[in-house]
Amino acid sequence: MHAPISPAILADLRRPRPYPAVSVLLPTHRREPANAQDAVRLRNLLEEAKDAVHNDPEVSRADRIDVIGQLDQALGEVDLVHAEDGLAIFAAPGEHQVWTLARTVPARVLLAQTFLTRNLVAAHVANHPFWVLALSADVATLWSGSKWRAPEQVTGTFPVRRVPEDFDPEREERIGDTPSTFNDERTRQFLREVTESAGVAVAADPRPMYLVGEAEALAALDEAGKLVKEAAGQVVQGGLAEGPAEALRQALADAAGRRAEEEVAGVLSELDQARSRKAFAGGVDEVWQSVAEARVALVAIEDGYRATVRDDGDHLVPAASGDRGARDDIVDEIAEQALDTGARVRFVPDGELADVGHVAAVLRY
């Protein structure tokens, strides 16, 4: 399974591949007894994908053997014991990827020149990703967090470690002290490096950032740059710079919950203001048309909302899954297309948009 999704990863997934780029999507289940048939369904979908590759006259013999082998390798990497709500397998000549999603997907097999990414895009946004910077006097670590998962430590420019101060017993004997934990020059340099590295991470993947550390550490970090002032929240608790992940998740629960409530209240307020100035769209048909015209500034979607529709030429109308022309994941299509046009996409608790068709938008004009 892969690390949490980032804009760079999504951009790479969405680039064209040599044909066939195979996408296999499967709704999965976290618990018994619903998950009992997941393995069988997965094997059936993969056999369907292999048959489609084998029988496609546009696929060369070499690519057919390669892609079918990639699908077999992907199957070996799937961990259904720790399944979430959806699974995506991508395979193309020379590569395969397996993604687990905290959002359900429709069962599907697709051969194209690009992978089917809209479900990953929607899952990424719905998962409310955030950064966690955990700090002590000696080390700072960066973690990728989200609504449904314990944070995962990020490597690369992190962890950042403070260069140890050489102990000088003659200095202590002469003036009777040792350098302050957070006030010596090496620590200030350490905190400037932490600030710079965290800024690079946020610039590459903008998310809210939470800070975790002792009060003295956070106060010193505040003097080093803008991290503290711009943070989504602070947790004054030491001993977590090296994790573990579950302890960080528990420490962040209250702060993240408060921010989520504030964000939902802000989204609902924006929608109310949009209604009053006639810049509002509600329901899947109106929102889809507005998104297609690139008129949307904000799309709000209920967490659990799904709709199957078909296009009758003028509007999207309700349809049953399996109907000719049915689009089972129109909500995820809306989310992806909205993001592509520069709109913000926010997911809100079920029931918050019940009176407007479970999906709504603020229009630019």
Please give the Cα distance from 130 to 142 (Å, whole number).
11
148 pLDDT tier (thresholds 50, 70, 90): confident
Give me the helices (H) in the chain, please: 7-13, 38-54, 61-77, 118-126, 169-175, 185-204, 215-224, 227-230, 245-276, 284-292, 330-340
Which of 119, 77, 109 has its CA nearest to residue 95? 77
- Sorting pLDDT into bands at 50, 70 and 90, what band is 5? confident
- The band of 179, judged by pLDDT with boundaries at 50, 70 and 90, is very low
Residue 277 reports pLDDT greater than 50:
yes
CB 327 within 8 A of CB 308: yes
Query: In this predicted model, what pLDDT tens digit does every residue of 317-341 receive, in sequence order?
Result: 999 988 999 999 999 999 999 999 9
What pLDDT score does 68 carry? 98
Q: In the block, which residue shows the tokens 């420019």?
A: 157
89 phi, psi to nearest 5 deg: -120, 130
Q: 120 near 90, Cβ under 8 Å?
A: no
Amino acid at site 153:
Q
Report whether pLDDT(184) > 80.
no
pLDDT at residue number 165: 63
Max distance between CA atoms of the chain, in angstroms, equals 87
308 contacts 328 by C-beta, under 8 angstroms: yes
Give per-residue pLDDT as tens, 289-318. 999 999 999 999 999 999 999 999 889 999
pLDDT over 80 (residue 176): no
DSSP state of 5: P
Write phi, then psi, for 279 (nearest 5 degrees): -125, 50
Long-range contacts of range 12-16, CB-CB < 8 Å, 24 or more positions apart?
A: 13/90, 13/97, 13/115, 13/117, 13/120, 14/114, 14/115, 14/117, 15/114, 16/113, 16/114
For 106-136, write each residue's pLDDT tens digit.
Answer: 999 999 999 999 999 999 999 999 999 999 9
Q: Which of 294, 292, 296, 271 is nearest to 357 (CA)?
A: 271
C-alpha–C-alpha distance, residues 15 and 145, integer Å: 26
Q: Please give the Cα distance from 12 to 9 (Å, whole number).
A: 5
Average confidence (pLDDT) over 267-284: 97
Residue 175: per-residue pLDDT:
46
Q: What's the pLDDT tens digit per position in 23-70?
A: 999 999 999 898 899 999 999 999 999 999 999 999 999 999 999 999
Residue 171, pLDDT score? 46
Q: Give the whole-number percent of the chain exceeding pLDDT 70.
A: 94
Residues 6+ apart with CB under 8 A from 164: 138
Nearest residue to 347 via CA among 2, 91, 102, 10: 102
Q: Higher model confidence: residue 149 or residue 71?
A: 71
